[in-house]
Amino acid sequence: MPTWSEILTELKVESAQGNSAPFDFIRRKYLSELSKYTNRNIILYATAFTQKGGAPELLSVTEEDVQGMMEVSYGLEKKPVDLIIHSPGGSPEAAEGIVEYLHAQFPEVRVIIPQIAMSAATMIACSGASIVMGKHSNIGPVDPQLIINSPNGPTSNPAKAIIDQFYKALQEVNEPNKQAWAILLNQYGPSVITQCENYIKMSENLIRDWLNRFMFKTEAPDVKAPIIENIASFLANHDNFKSHGRHISREKAESKGLKIEYLEKDSQLQDLVLSVFHATTHTFSSTPAMKIIENQKGKAFIKIQN
């Protein structure tokens, strides 16, 4: 398997030989080789969130990504697709658009996580027929986050934590030395708690729906129902994690009922997937690229940081 440093050496060789786009050349070479090996379509969806900071719309799952998926899906054969995803997450509504579009385009979607897929990216992973993960791969909680305008500016907060804090404040605001809770209560609009409750329900319901329709579509209803409920309630419950950034290993994900394939069980698949991933991270580290959506034929939708 070409390691991170060996891919870097390949890039230097291509550059020395006069290749004006070595990063694209090497990344696309391995995407093509991966597709030939699996006989499946390949779509890479990756952002530079582990390499760079930047505007959320450049790093997160957004509505524009559906346009990217349309671009790279056009012209591909109507055969199964492997979605390689590396993302911190983003909008659940945008994730829904991506999932529904991909499943309308391809007879089967398998998700491959070369390192990490969090939040809404975890939701997308749950729509796969299976999830391929290495020993180093992780998914994350899907409890929704809301932006609240506080005296210190906008902050991202777990919806469940907002609900818990709100009702705690209501109970204690009139107690001696607890009047400071009044400041917190004043910052919440009249619909915030209902919004929080609705977002939590939406995240759970989307996962239930996708698991039922895709990952467990062939199982009998009485067999898959408790498995699906266990997965959805686990991933969407903030109390299970206490932090939206907690990592969930493949072993933990598998123990909750998700269909996990171990990347290391197929050494050739592992080599090619990680070569694609290393080439992609080099692209992010050495170019202005912030988000890459790309297929095995080299057709790409790339967001650049100005």
Taking only the tens place, the pLDDT of each residue in 4-20 is 788 888 888 888 888 87
pLDDT of residue 189: 58
pLDDT of residue 168: 74
Backbone angles phi, psi at 139, to 5 degrees: -110, -175
pLDDT of residue 175: 66
Residue type, position 257, single letter: G
Query: Strand runs (DSSP E) across the chain, as ranges?
Result: 41-47, 81-86, 109-113, 116-117, 131-133, 138-139, 145-150, 153-158, 248-249, 260-262, 289-295, 300-304
Structure tokens at 126: 């749950």
Please state the separation of Cα 209 from the chain's center in Å: 17
Residues sharing a CB contact under 8 Å with residue 261, sequence separation 6 or more, in sequence order: 130, 131, 132, 133
pLDDT of residue 170: 67
* CA proximity to 117, closest of 96, 132, 98: 132
Is the CB of residue 229 less than 8 Å from the CB of residue 250?
no
pTM, two decimal places: 0.89
Task: Classify the phi-psi angles of 39: left when phi > 0, otherwise alpha if psi is within -120 to 50, otherwise beta.
Answer: left
For the chain, state the CA radius of gyration: 21
pLDDT of residue 187: 60
Structure tokens at 249: 């290993």
Q: What stretches in the chain show pLDDT beneath 70?
A: 1, 145-157, 169-170, 172-190
Is the CB of residue 173 less than 8 Å from the CB of residue 182?
yes
* CA proximity to 123, closest of 102, 147, 93, 158: 93
d(CA 181, CA 166): 9
d(CA 76, CA 213): 23
Query: Quick one: 229 exposed, middle or buried, by C-beta within 10 A (0-12, 13-18, 19+)?
Result: middle
pLDDT of residue 174: 65
d(CA 203, CA 93): 9
